[in-house]
């Protein structure tokens, strides 16, 4: 029997990906640990390693193919001692792939895909054959976070459904067509899940726009850009944003940065203003814990540390690598880690755990000369801090008009979880730390 090489799940929320590039060809010999392909997930391009040894007998999915579901057979491997010609016909006789296609045809696409403009699905069949993820007594039900949330709202018992998603996973379409049951499902897990998995764009937003008769170029959307579109649409549609802006004098922070850089020069460390702002936001969140929270629908989660997601512009789109324990790390450690994360983010080489999570976000557009802006919250986080450029402005210093380097910072807060007064307290704490930064290093 040939060995099936299947599309891997390279992150906890990955349900499909793009087979960006094959690093082997038919007839190549591979061993465990050899790089076989580059897979584009919703946030990064990751390398896929061989597990078994043998000869690549057949490549079934061409490079550049989008929306390849996790578990799909993408190639076959001939083990040592097998006839190299035998696997060529084996994939055609496989049962799993046709079953998946046959089940997928009458059902709408799962929530991890772009939009669901198809009609509502028919109710789940009680007498149908169970998929690979069928539930045994005591076994955890396999369901997407969005499916769990819809089930909780409709009072549907997930254990009574058969899933049409990858590996029998219950997805949005399965729940929407089911009738309410006696026991509703807890909401917490669904509501707290990252929006990249839970979101689906409304049908109206998914309709292609009419392209005017003007010379143009059309570029196919990458998985990253699709996910960004889904996340931002969901955030603005479902999260009530409240915006609070303060003007902050930067002169003391700029002096501290110069002094620290002089001391750190022998170690090859050079701090940026952004490094100090990451630290200031993290410390502020610990001083005002009511803003270091996550709203889950029926719970408010308050975090015991500050992990700061930092917006980085990459060729494929925005990505937010995370500085964990930012409230307790030295600024020099934050600087070194941020440079490494930003560099690998631009190369799409981040690991999932390096960009998934975070308790709050920081977005800095000062380097572009942007004076002030309002950032979109990155659910399920409760807030994001947007900072603009530091510039010379007229400023009242000791009751006299003077000139100071001033920056405008705007906090976007999830008003379901954070009251305006609490958001204002965080902005006050952030301003105080930036204007008297020795408190961050003391």
Query: Cis omega (within 30 of 0) on the bond before 71?
Result: no
Place of tokens 């002096």: 255
Burial class (CB in 10 A: 0-12, 13-18, 19+), 31: exposed
Residue 304 CA to residue 184 CA, distance in Å, equals 31
Tens place of pLDDT per residue across the chain (442 aa):
688 899 988 776 778 888 888 999 988 888 888 888 988 876 677 888 888 888 898 999 998 888 899 999 999 988 666 665 554 443 443 444 444 444 444 444 443 333 333 334 433 333 333 333 334 444 567 776 667 777 877 778 887 787 766 567 787 777 776 755 533 333 333 333 333 333 333 434 455 678 899 999 998 887 778 888 888 899 999 999 999 999 999 999 999 999 999 999 999 999 999 999 999 999 999 999 999 999 998 899 999 999 999 999 988 788 999 999 999 999 999 999 999 999 999 988 888 889 989 999 999 999 999 999 999 999 999 999 999 999 999 999 889 999 999 999 999 999 999 999 999 999 999 999 999 999 988 7
Residue 333 CA to residue 341 CA, distance in Å, equals 12
Domains and CATH numbers, the chain: 3-94 (2.40.50.100), 110-206 (no CATH), 238-441 (3.30.559.10)
- Contact between 334 and 306 (Cβ < 8 Å): no
Residue 348 CA to residue 21 CA, distance in Å, equals 14
- In which region does residue 290 sit, left (phi positive, over 0), alpha (psi from -120 to 50) or beta (all else)? alpha
pTM of the model: 0.61
CA distances from 130 to 111, 148, 219 (A): 20, 19, 40
Q: How many CA atoms lie within 13 A of 191 on its CB side?
A: 17
Which are the catalytic amino acids? 415
- Contact between 243 and 61 (Cβ < 8 Å): no
């Amino acid at each position: 029997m040939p060995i099936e090489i299947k599309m891997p799940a390279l992150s906890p929320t990955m349900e499909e990906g793009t087979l960006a590039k094959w690093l082997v060809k038919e007839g190549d010999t591979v061993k465990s640990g050899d790089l076989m392909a580059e897979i584009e997930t919703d946030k990064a391009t990751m390398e896929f390693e061989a597990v078994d040894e043998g000869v690549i007998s057949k490549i079934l999915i061409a490079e550049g193919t989008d929306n390849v579901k996790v578990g799909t057979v993408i190639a076959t491997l001939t083990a040592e001692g097998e006839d190299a010609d035998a696997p060529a016909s084996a994939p055609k006789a496989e049962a799993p792939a046709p079953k998946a296609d046959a089940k997928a045809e009458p059902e709408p696409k799962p929530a991890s895909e772009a939009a669901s403009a198809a009609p509502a699905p028919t109710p789940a069949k009680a007498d149908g054959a169970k998929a690979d993820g069928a539930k045994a007594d005591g076994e955890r039900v396999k369901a997407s976070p969005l499916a769990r949330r819809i089930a909780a709202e409709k009072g549907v018992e997930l254990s009574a459904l058969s899933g049409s998603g990858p590996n029998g996973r219950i997805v949005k379409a399965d729940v929407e067509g089911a009738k309410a049951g006696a026991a509703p499902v807890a909401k917490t897990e669904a509501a707290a899940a990252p929006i990249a998995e839970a979101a689906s764009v409304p049908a109206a937003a998914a309709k292609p726009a009419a392209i005017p008769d003007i010379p143009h170029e059309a570029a196919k959307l990458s998985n990253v850009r699709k996910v960004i579109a889904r996340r931002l649409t969901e955030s603005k549609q479902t999260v009530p944003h409240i915006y609070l802006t303060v003007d902050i004098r930067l002169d003391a922070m700029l002096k501290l940065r110069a002094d620290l850089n002089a001391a750190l020069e022998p170690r090859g460390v050079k701090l940026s203003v952004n490094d100090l702002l990451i630290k200031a936001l993290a410390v502020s969140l610990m001083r005002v814990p009511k803003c270091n929270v996550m709203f889950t629908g029926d719970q408010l989660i308050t975090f015991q540390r500050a992990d700061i997601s930092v917006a980085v512009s990459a060729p494929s789109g925005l990505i937010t690598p995370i500085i964990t324990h930012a409230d307790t790390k030295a600024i020099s450690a934050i600087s070194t880690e941020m440079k490494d994360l930003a560099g690998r983010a631009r190369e799409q080489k981040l690991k999932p755990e390096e960009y998934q999570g975070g308790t709050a976000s920081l977005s800095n557009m000062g380097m572009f000369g942007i004076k002030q802006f309002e950032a979109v919250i990155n659910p399920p986080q409760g807030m994001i801090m947007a900072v603009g450029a530091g510039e010379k402005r007229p400023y009242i210093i000791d009751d006299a008009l003077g000139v100071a380097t001033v920056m405008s910072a705007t906090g976007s807060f999830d008003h379901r979880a954070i009251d305006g007064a609490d958001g204002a307290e965080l902005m006050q704490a952030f301003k105080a730390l930036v204007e008297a930064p020795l408190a961050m290093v003391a």
